[in-house]
Amino acid sequence: MRQFLIQLIAFGVIGLIVYGLSKLLRCRPSPSPNLDARRSSLRGLLAVAASMSALFALMLWFNLRHGPAHGSQPEFTTVSQLLTMLLLGLAVYVMPAAYGMFREREGLASAGIGRLNLWQACVIGLVLAALACCNRPADLAQKLSNLAGTHWIRSLIFFGMVGFGEEFLFRGYLQTRLVAWCGWWRGWVLTAVVFALIHLPQLVLIRGMNLGDATLAALGLLPPALLLGFIMLRTQNIVASGIFHTFINWASDTL
């Protein structure tokens, strides 16, 4: 509980930084998306369920084929394994939501993809990435001093796929629709809850946690999920949250 509270306070401080930067850089609000909010929200929940079920099956297949991962990412021994996982992962994250957008004729802007606040989102994302990496500066310096190694590069590429894939699916696609349907704070919180709970099967069956520990770990995802959702609310562009998501995962895994 103490660690959870510390994490909540830390992400709250980062949220204040995001708010200040978004005001300083004059991020513009997004116009209301032209969509059927209720139906699109239900489609969003179905897309999340489909994507995460497929991702879970993909992780099981990879573990059976190549052995269980010892960290928060699979162990890639060859570039071809990495490329295969990247292509499959992107397809899993993108295709269900993209199909719903295509069928409903919803533009990319309705999923936080576009020029709106793009450069501001890049600046905010890079500032947050620096904060994530500077959490353990000595270890980061040690990792980056060995530029001949490729493990950290492969990790960054992998987590880039995961970070931007999840931000497109959860914050860009699902949260935008839930906010349009339920209001900004209900949609924001509901997206964070869905994001946390959807990781339970992975924590139990892939990471080998018991149900109690997995539930606590899933609840521990609420503060970062709320922060990522808040970044999306402030920037209306998945670039900022995608960069931060990538580097916070990469830093915690490789440092």
Q: Kindly report, residue by residue over 112-128, the tens digit of the pLDDT.
A: 999 999 999 999 999 99
Within 8 A by CB and 6+ apart from 7, the residues are 220, 223, 224
pTM: 0.90
Q: Residue 34, CB half-sphere, CA atoms under 13 Å: how many?
A: 4
pLDDT score of 161:
92
DSSP string of 163-199? HHHHIIIIIIIIIHHHHHHH-HHHHHHHHHHHHHHTT
pLDDT score of 176:
95
Phi, psi angles (nearest 5°) of residue 254: -100, -15
Contact (Cβ atoms closer than 8 angstroms) between residue 20 and residue 51: no
User: At 147, is the pLDDT very low, low, confident or very high (cuts 50, 70, 90)?
Assistant: very low
